[in-house]
Structure 1
Amino acid sequence: MISIPEAISIVKKHSEPLLKNTTKQVEKAGGYLLFEDVTSPINMPPFRQSAMDGYALHLHEDLNYNLIGEVKAGDSHQPVLKKGEAVRIFTGAAVPDSANAVMMQEKVIKTENHITLEQQGTIQQNIRPLGEQVKTGDIALKAGTKLTPAAIGYLMSLGITKVSVFKKPNIAIVTTGNELIEAGQDLAFGKIYESNSKMLLSALYSLKFYDVTLYKVDDNYTKTIETLNTAINDKDLVLITGGISVGDYDFVGKALNQLQVEEHFYKVKQKPGKPLFYGKKNNTQIFALPGNPAAALSCFYVYVYIALQKLMNRDVLELPRIEANSISSFKKKGDRPQFLKAIYNTGTVEILEGQNSSMLQTFALSNALVYAPETVTEINKGDTIEVIQLPV
């Protein structure tokens, strides 16, 4: 049995970036990382552009100008202005080549076909120059940039419709257990509704990992081998829930051994989630998570999350850890470090009742995990404690 820091270090060491690329429509590429630099096919803006509503001027020494026309956003005509002439112009419209300033409308007095400025204009005033954001052939966004909504909008404004991005891993979730049935069926005595696969699926979806396949296998050694072999051969990451302990009908460990999966660790000194397995076969990473739902989800956020970020070649691998003042008390049983379901709120954290590894009700209310290390036996109100912020 290894420590939590050792287990985290091992996952970081043996998780490797997927380094495969795929082409995505820009509007569907949110959350992906660019696989290669994107160069701009155009200047942005593609013409000298008015920064506001007002009047485009061909400057002269007088404050009075003759008004000779109008240019709206989207107009393609180019009025030719002589010194002392102006055209009405609107935000985003193309500034005529013969104009050298734009005066905002609030500083102009208009009378029929003439305008008078309240103050003298200056060269290039309120004109966005050609290529101010980016010029044709320049790098618009570098490889590795995360495509946020702003990045998506920026690329679309350059007329770019497709980008090469780092491929996200394809993932298998394998649930085991004779006692599990699908929600919607009659609940026969001795059966329970299966929830772990949908819980983990939802966690993956919330992190924008959508290529996920669900497998269900009964407590049967041969079928467990067959199912795991299929998943391992087809996927980049395999998450197994249940069957990893040492009971008579826990076949996952034996099946992984039979399939020659390289074990990097099995069992972590922690609560919940002690019977956690992590290993690899070829380039496929395998986590065998505990069957108890709260334990499985805790292990997902502490360990699987790291592997997912590493697969995506991201720099920040772990969920944020911060310090907060406890507004509740808790007595820890045993000597194992513990992850406690909690609610964090602006510098304070409340440790909730119902910390049993089989219970999801408390987890459903949580937005954080409190980390109580081995040396801590009791948490009192006012204590400063470590908090892991969960994705929302």
Structure 2
Amino acid sequence: MIQVAEALNLIAENSCKMPITKIKVDKSLGYVLAEAVYSPINMPPFRQSAMDGYAFTHGEHNQFEILKTVQAGDFSDDEIKENQAVRIFTGAFVPDDVNTVVMQEHTIVKDNLLLIEKMPATHANVRAKGEQVKKGELVLDKNTVITPAAIGFLACLGITKIKVFDKPKVAILVTGNELVSAGKKLPKGKIYESNSLMLEAALKAVGIKKTSIFKIKDSLKKTKIVIESCLSNFDVVLISGGISVGDYDYVKEALLKNGVTELFYKINQKPGKPLFFGKKENKLVFALPGNPASSLTCFYVYALPALKKLMGFEAIHLPEIKRKINSDFENTSGKTLFLKAFYDDEKVTVLESQSSAMLNTFSTANGLIVVPHDVTEVKMHQEVVILPLN
């Protein structure tokens, strides 16, 4: 049995980035750039009006003849004299012969004559060519996570495809004779199976959509066959249940028979002590506890960092923040505790129903309080470490 920090280090050391793939920009949300992107054009590609107003040459005049109108998308190379101006709109091409745009609210127009009541500074309201980014300039660096704004930025530069780290395909295996799918009649002695949907939702929340769910009975033969298939067709295998030491827990044996190398088994923590992490070639396996709260806790703390490492993220672990706890708490277990909690800007509250089988308070929690294994008590108003889940 190992400590939490050692387990996290082993996961980081044994998780490698996925292969690089080229995808369309409009499909790239949530992906991580595998190479830097440079601008193929100046942006804006021409001098551009920042306002609806009138373009003119700044000088001694404050009254001008309105020569013509330039809308966004128009181009004009007509000569514009010093006593002339053009009606212009936001985003439109600013002709070469003028250097300033006055906003229309600061003007009076009568009989095709423009009178400027409030004179702007020279070059006001004119966006310079390449003001936002110049041709050949770095647009987005390698390892940047693609956001909606990044997609818009790339599109406005005319970029249609980018190279990113691929996202892993994940298999979710749920074991147990006692499990029944929601919506079916619940016989005595059975429980509704929820972990597969919970883990699938947690994967979707981080942008992983290539998932498949497999449900198997407590059988060594069936478990071995399904795991063998998953190792052949998926990058990561998440298993829920069957990893403890009961007579019908066959997962660890089935993994070893399939050539999975055990990197650790059991962590000195609560909940989720029976956690297996292994590897076969470049395929990762997490055998999570079957109890729902334990399974989800171990997913967030251990499986999620590995998945983020595969996807190319630089920061892979849940961030840590500190808040003052509003109650006393004792830790007599000698284990690291992950406590379901709710925090605000000032304090954090330990929620009820901390049992590894209970999701009722997990569904309203927004963080996990971390109590290290060597801390025996926490006093009210003492600062504690929280792993945010939102």
TM-score range, shorter chain: over 0.9
Q: Which amino acid aligns with 1:52?
A: M
Q: Quote the offset at 1:178 in angstroms.
A: 0.9
**Are 1:332 and 1:378, in contact at CA under 8 Å, matched by a contact in 2?**
yes
SS of structure 2 residue aligned to 1:65 = strand
Separation in structure 1 between the aligned mates of residue 118 and residue 201 of structure 2, nearest angstrom: 61
Q: Which amino acid aligns with 1:312?
A: M
**Are 1:17 and 1:312, in contact at CA under 8 Å, matched by a contact in 2?**
yes
Q: What residue is the counterpart of 1:29 in the other structure?
A: 28
Deviations along 1:101-136, one digit per CA (max 9) or x if unpaired, are: 112223323232222234555543321122222234
Separation in structure 1 between the aligned mates of residue 30 and residue 128 of structure 2, nearest angstrom: 31
Alignment of 1:152-231 (within 5 A): 152-231=151-230
Q: What residue is the counterpart of 2:231 in the other structure?
A: 232
Say which is worse superposed, 32-41 or 214-223, in terms of deviation: 32-41
1:72 aligns with 2:71: yes
Separation in structure 2 between the aligned mates of residue 41 and residue 373 of structure 1, nearest angstrom: 51
Q: What residue is the counterpart of 1:377 in the other structure?
A: 376
Say which is worse superposed, 107-116 or 134-143, in terms of deviation: 134-143
Q: Which runs of 4+ in 1 moved over 4 A?
A: 119-123
Q: Which amino acid aligns with 2:3?
A: S
**Are 2:33 and 2:163, in contact at CA under 8 Å, matched by a contact in 1?**
yes
1:364 aligns with 2:379: no
Q: What residue is the counterpart of 1:45 in the other structure?
A: 44
Deviations along 1:13-60, one digit per CA (max 9) or x if unpaired, are: 111112x12232222211111222333333211221001121100334
1:115 aligns with 2:114: yes
1:104 aligns with 2:103: yes
**Are 1:64 and 1:84, in contact at CA under 8 Å, matched by a contact in 2?**
yes
**Are 2:270 and 2:338, in contact at CA under 8 Å, matched by a contact in 1?**
yes
Q: What residue is the counterpart of 1:12 in the other structure?
A: 12
TM-score between both structures, scaled by the size of structure 1? 0.95
Q: Which amino acid aligns with 2:226?
A: T
Separation in structure 2 between the aligned mates of residue 193 and residue 120 of structure 1, nearest angstrom: 73
Q: Which amino acid aligns with 2:319?
A: P
**Are 2:70 and 2:93, in contact at CA under 8 Å, matched by a contact in 1?**
yes
Separation in structure 2 between the aligned mates of residue 138 and residue 324 of structure 1, nearest angstrom: 42
SS of structure 2 residue aligned to 1:73 = coil
Q: What residue is the counterpart of 1:95 in the other structure?
A: 94
Q: What residue is the counterpart of 1:320 in the other structure?
A: 319
Separation in structure 2 between the aligned mates of residue 377 and residue 37 of structure 1, nearest angstrom: 48
TM-score between both structures, scaled by the size of structure 2? 0.95
**Are 2:70 and 2:88, in contact at CA under 8 Å, matched by a contact in 1?**
yes
**Are 2:17 and 2:165, in contact at CA under 8 Å, matched by a contact in 1?**
no
Q: Which amino acid aligns with 2:133?
A: V
Say which is worse superposed, 203-212 or 131-140, in terms of deviation: 131-140
Separation in structure 2 between the aligned mates of residue 226 and residue 339 of structure 1, nearest angstrom: 34
Separation in structure 2 between the aligned mates of residue 283 and residue 84 of structure 1, nearest angstrom: 72
Separation in structure 2 between the aligned mates of residue 360 and residue 78 of structure 1, nearest angstrom: 69
Q: Which amino acid aligns with 2:380?
A: K
SS of structure 1 residue aligned to 2:8 = helix
SS of structure 2 residue aligned to 1:296 = helix
**Are 2:143 and 2:314, in contact at CA under 8 Å, matched by a contact in 1?**
no
Cα 1:83–1:176, aligned 2, differ >3 Å: closer, same or farther?
A: same
SS of structure 2 residue aligned to 1:306 = helix
Cα 1:118–1:13, aligned 2, differ >3 Å: closer, same or farther?
A: same
Alignment of 1:223-302 (within 5 A): 223-302=222-301
Contiguous gaps of at least 5 residues in structure 2: none
SS of structure 1 residue aligned to 2:270 = coil
Deviations along 1:258-301, one digit per CA (max 9) or x if unpaired, are: 11211111000000000001110000011110111100111111
Separation in structure 1 between the aligned mates of residue 94 and residue 188 of structure 2, nearest angstrom: 77
Say which is worse superposed, 324-333 or 254-263, in terms of deviation: 324-333
Q: Quote the offset at 1:334 in angstroms.
A: 2.0
**Are 1:325 and 1:349, in contact at CA under 8 Å, matched by a contact in 2?**
yes
Separation in structure 2 between the aligned mates of residue 38 and residue 374 of structure 1, nearest angstrom: 45
SS of structure 1 residue aligned to 2:74 = coil
Alignment of 1:121-160 (within 5 A): 122-160=121-159
SS of structure 1 residue aligned to 2:361 = helix
Separation in structure 1 between the aligned mates of residue 361 and residue 112 of structure 2, nearest angstrom: 72
Q: Quote the offset at 1:78 in angstroms.
A: 4.2
Q: What residue is the counterpart of 2:80 in the other structure?
A: 81
Separation in structure 1 between the aligned mates of residue 62 and residue 283 of structure 2, nearest angstrom: 73
SS of structure 2 residue aligned to 1:364 = coil
Say which is worse superposed, 239-248 or 34-43, in terms of deviation: 34-43
Cα RMSD (Å): 1.7
**Are 1:63 and 1:119, in contact at CA under 8 Å, matched by a contact in 2?**
no
Contiguous gaps of at least 5 residues in structure 1: none
Alignment of 1:340-355 (within 5 A): 340-355=339-354
Q: Quote the offset at 1:377 in angstroms.
A: 2.9
